[in-house]
Structure 1
Amino acid sequence: MEQLQVRILLQHVQGAAIAYFYNRESFDLLNIERQTYDDSQFIEIGNTIEYREEKYVVKNINFKMEKQLYEMDNKYGINVYSLTDPSDFNCQIGVFVDNA
């Protein structure tokens, strides 16, 4: 059975892709507050997040299940939105933001 392998898309509500996040190291760049009871992190509608010294308000979130696994092997160049080496994914969490 195929495991879920997710990437997070950070996209402005006007359409511009801001970044793709593929791992914990890149996710931590969003400076999302950790919960005191279990050190977890949430992205919720209405939250303000920060990325590259810009603040954004989360307007919508969605989950997309791809019909296949996309294998990222870097044979065809580099993903300019990725902060780290891309990894395989079969689903995507879209986080849609507006300027804070």
Structure 2
Amino acid sequence: MEQLQVRILLQHVQGATIAYFYNRESFDLLNIKKHTYDESQFIEIGNTLEYEGEEYVVRKINFKMEKQLFEVDNNYGTNIYSPTSPSNFNCQIGVFVDNT
């Protein structure tokens, strides 16, 4: 059985792609506060995120299940939207933000 392998899309509500996040290292770039009782982190509508010195407010979140596993070949090229090397994914969490 295929496990879920997710990437997070950070996109402006007006359509501009800001970044894709594929792993914990890249997720930590959002500077999301950790809950004191278990150090978990949430992305929720109304929350403020910070990325590359810009602050954004979360307006919408969705989950997309892909028809197939997309295997990302890290041998050549780069993904200009990803702060770290991309990895395989079969689902995507879309986080749609607006300027604060």
Q: Report the Cα distance in structure 1 between the residues aligned to 2:76 and 2:66, rounded to whole angstroms.
A: 20
The Cα RMSD (Å) is: 0.9
Find the counterpart in structure 1 of residue 14 from structure 2. Answer: 14
In structure 2, the residue matched to 1:72 is: 72
Alignment correspondent of 1:50: 50
| CA–CA separation in structure 2 for the residues paired with 1:67 and 1:97 | 26
Take 1:40 and 1:75, find their aligned partners in 2: how far apart are those partners?
A: 33
| Aligned pairs, number | 100
Give the letter aligned to residue 51 of structure 1: Y
Q: Quick one: percent identity of the two aligned structures?
A: 80
AA at the equivalent of 2:41: Q
Query: Does residue 37 of structure 1 match 2:50?
Result: no
| Deviation, structure 1 residue 76 | 5.7
Q: Distance in 2 between matches of 1:10 and 1:96?
A: 6
Compute the displacement of 1:78 (Å): 1.3
Question: Where do 5+ consecutive residues of structure 2 fail to align?
Answer: none
1:79 is displaced (CA, Å) by: 1.1
TM-score by length of 1: 0.97
Residue of structure 2 equivalent to 1:99? 99
C-alpha distance in structure 2 between counterparts of 1:76 and 1:92, whole Å: 23
Shift of 1:77: 2.0
Q: Structure 2: which amino acid aligns with 1:54?
A: E
